[in-house]
Structure 1
Amino acid sequence: MTLYIGNLSYEATENDLREVFEKYGAIRRIVLPVDRETGKRRGFAFVELADETQEAVAIDDLDGATWLGRVLKVNKAKPKQPGGQSNSSL
């Protein structure tokens, strides 16, 4: 399972996310998308932890939490839709 982290500060880095999520277990990967044209972060990320139970705890702890001045939206990421569009929850 992969977590979707929405309403993320544009200042957040992969290392920032790693610091927060490593408390919940081993991180398999972090994806912090950037806009193709501007190279700026897009305000959301995906984090995959090694254990689904730990991901559920992370959702419970972090969904609605304020971090870097923003109220986070953390939930299970939805699978990518055909045609390359993701269907993340907002």
Structure 2
Amino acid sequence: MLSSKADSLGLHRVFKFFQESSMGNKLYVGNLPYSFRDQDLQDSFSEFGTVNSAKVMMERDTGRSKGFGFVEMGSDAEAQAAIQGLHGQNRGGRDLVVNEARPMEPRPPRSGGFGGGFGGGREGGFGGGRGDGGFGGGRGDGGYGRRNSY
């Protein structure tokens, strides 16, 4: 089960992509022109066989392409033909990187959040150690460089 954060980032589509069929017909396509959209990706790969799906990954906040995507071909043989035919080919001034897709490797949870601010922790972040805190605060100072006595 995916977390709501992963779901909100659209990662459910990527996980679903890898779960539904064999890996041999799924391709990673990198170094895409930022102007490329799903249809452009589909059009580029359709000359090598049936394209079951083509998805350019987009930034959630800006709607801008991340410069990579995934294509699922109709068969492993069609996928191999697409790799041979498109890897290194120039599209929109960029040389495509096309290879067999691999499942995402699990990553450790990212640290951060509200704990300590910029640099935070015991050393305080911008401009501060334990006593004066700086941006994000040291120990016991309340953060933002605030001192308890003047």
TM-score where L is the length of structure 1: 0.85
Out of 37, 54, 71, which is 1:30 matched to?
A: 54
Bigger CA radius of gyration: 2
Residue aligning to 1:86: none
SS of alignment partner, residue 102 of structure 2: coil
Runs of 4+ in structure 1 over 3 Å off:
none
Higher relative contact order (CA 8 A, sep 6+): 1
Residue aligning to 1:51: 75
SS of alignment partner, residue 9 of structure 1: coil
Q: Does the alignment pair 1:17 with 2:75?
A: no
Out of 86, 93, 96, which is 1:69 matched to?
A: 93
SS of alignment partner, residue 71 of structure 2: strand
Q: What amino acid does structure 1 have at the position aligned with 2:68?
A: F
Gaps of at least 5 residues in structure 2 are: 1-24, 108-150
Shift of 1:82: 3.0
CA deviation string 1:50-80 (max 9, x = no partner): 1110110110111111111101100001112
Amino-acid identity (%): 36
Q: What amino acid does structure 2 have at the position aligned with 1:41?
A: S
Residue aligning to 2:103: 79
Greater strand share, structure number: 1
**Distance in 1 between the 2:96 and 2:52 partners?**
21
TM-score where L is the length of structure 2: 0.52
SS of alignment partner, residue 57 of structure 1: helix
Shift of 1:4: 0.6
